[in-house]
Amino acid sequence: MSSPKVWFITGTSSGFGRLMTEYALDKGDIVVATLRKPQVLSDLAARYPVDKLLILKVDVAKQEDIDEAFARTRSAFGRLDVVFNNAGYSIVTEIEGTPVHKARGLFETNFWGATNVSRAAVKFFREVNERGKGGTILQISWIGGFHARPGIGYYAATKHALEGFTDSLTRELPPSWNIKICIIEPGLFHTDMVNKAEVLPQHPAYTDESFETSVMRRKLIGAVFEGDAYKFTRTVYEVVQGGNIPKRLPMGLDAIELLNGKIELLKATVAETKGLSVDLKRDGGGIGLM
């Protein structure tokens, strides 16, 4: 019988983070649960001993919190198998209606927080785990990070940036390290995070109800989404257990539809613009990206 996996999960106060924490514990795994307000998990702390559930106060926007959390993980368990990189939040309003300080705050958590956790995870997998054992990083993105949606532009931008970072990081890691990274792109799943999005006033230039931003606002605020977050959690866990980790994992038929839509748009762009690039090489030659 294989030993239980050690999970490092960020953003465990609610949403996918809380659900994955509960699911992994129920399956007998060990969880390092990080969040800004540890008291939120007092019910789980009462049910599980510290050798099964280590709850740590972490604000992923603070590098010192991240460093301390990975150090505590090392001292407590000496190994780490899975990082569920989930901490984040969303803002609902138009790009023009988002104050710059709000947008910067969103990036501090959703992008810089996630990338700094990723860097710490890679170092742990390489230098603390047994040589070649590696580990898995699950980047919780959103399908709107690949095929942007209106009305939540800065949130989508943080996820788009995270996906670009992750693609680059994946290419940089040598196979011998055995570190697997998966970008998970959920569609709309109903969690308690739905009602925690920060809804800002609509920009006066976008109040026409026919505008895409207005349509999206009506769709998101107070909605009950069809995606089952428990089924999402179960499926992601089973993928990890199976060991065949894809580089990208769209979740939900709505996500698949949007992904296909983006693919068709990209194909059309290539067909329409390829001719403009045929005669752009230097006469003297050189190297390209391919």
Residues 6+ apart with CB under 8 A from 193: 14, 15, 16, 89
**Both structure tokens of 87:** 């901490």
**Both structure tokens of 128:** 């603390």
How far is the C-alpha of 290 from the C-alpha of 278, rounded, in Å?
A: 15
**Both structure tokens of 55:** 């709850």
Directed axis angle between helix 114-127 and helix 63-77, to 10°? Answer: 30
Instruction: State the Cα angle at 142 between 139 and 146, rounded to 5°.
Output: 100
How far is the C-alpha of 134 from the C-alpha of 127, rounded, in Å?
A: 9
Q: Report which residue type is found at 226.
A: E
Contacts 24+ apart (CB under 8 A), 107-110: 107/154, 107/157, 107/158, 107/161, 108/61, 109/60, 109/61, 110/155, 110/158, 110/159, 110/162
- Please choose, from the candidates 72, 57, 55, the residue with its C-alpha nearest in 3D space to the C-alpha of residue 120: 72
Residue 237 annotated as catalytic: no
155, 206, 230, 237: the active-site residue: 155
User: Which residues are marked as active site?
Assistant: 155
